[in-house]
Chains A and B, each alone.
Chain A
Amino acid sequence: MRSARPLVRPTRFDRLLAPLHRWIWSDARRRVQKLISFGETETDGGRDILRAAEITSDPLLRRLYLVHAIDELRHGALFRQRAASLMPTLRSSSAPTFRADWLARGGHGADDLDVDDESDDTMLAFLHLSEKAAASRFTVYRDVLKGDAPTCAVFNEILHDETFHMNYTLVQLARVSPQHHKRRLWRARLSRLWKAYLRVAVALAGLIGGLLLIVQYFVLLPPFAWMAKRALRREPRGWAPIPVEGRDAMKRQY
C-alpha cells in the first residue's frame, strides 16, 4: 500500500532555501524550465543506473538497478510531460531558456559519475546519498508548489520512488560491504563535497575565463576583425579549388 505522503524530511539547508525555491517556482516560465531540466537530469541518471545494471556481476543488484533505472526514466518522462502541459500557458511559444540549476541539480546526473569504473559498494553509497539529497529537495519543491496541484502530484509520485531508492541502496550497501558500508558512505559524502567544490570552481573559472576572453575580444580583435571582413569581400564565390598537396601534407595539422 502506498502511504499518502512519503516520509522524507528536508535537510536544514534545503529548508533554509525554501524562500528562494518558492520564488523560482512562482514564475511559470522558470517552472517549465526547471521541470525540463529535471527531466534531463533524471533521464541522464536513469541511463547511468542502467549502465550500472548492465555491468554489475551481482544478479540482485542488476534487478534492482534496472527497476531503479526504469523509475528514473519514467520520472524524466513525468517531468517532461508536466512541462509540456504547462507550456501553452506561457505567453511566447518558444522554449524557455532560464536555468536555475547550474549548481544544484535535482537528481544525480550532474555528479559526473564514471559508472564503468565504480565498484558496487561505491555506486550504492553514491546513489543512496544522491537519492537522499534529491528527496530532501523534492520535498521542499512539493511543499512550495501547493498551489499547483498537478506539479505537486508529480513530485509526490516521484518522492515515493525516491524513498524506495534510498532504502534499497542502503540495505544493499550493507549487504555487499558489511564491514565497511559506513566508511563507504563517508567517502561518498566527501566525494560529493569535492565534486560540488569542483563544480563551483569550474563554474567560477569559466566565468572568469569568459570575461577575460570578452575583454580580449573587444580590445585585441577589432583590427583583425577589420582585416577578416576585408578579406571576405575579396573571397571568390562558388567553387574553391583544392590545391594538390605534397607527400608530407598528412603530417600537418593545418
Chain B
Amino acid sequence: MTVAEWLAEAKADAQKRGLPELIPMLEGLAQASERLRKADWNDNPDKDTPRDPNQ
C-alpha cells in the first residue's frame, strides 16, 4: 500500500468515525511515513538491519 493510498483510506475512516480533527494529523503522519520509506537506510530491505544495542 502506498502512503497516498493509506492516507486516503485513513482520512475516509476518520470521517466515518466522526473524528474529522484527525485529518490534518493524519496528513502529518503520512509525511513522516514517506520520510521513513525514502530514507537512504531503508532503500534496500536485503541490507542487514543494524542490531539495536539496547536489545
A and B are interacting partners: no
* B-binding residues in A (CB < 8 A): none
* A-binding residues in B (CB < 8 A): none
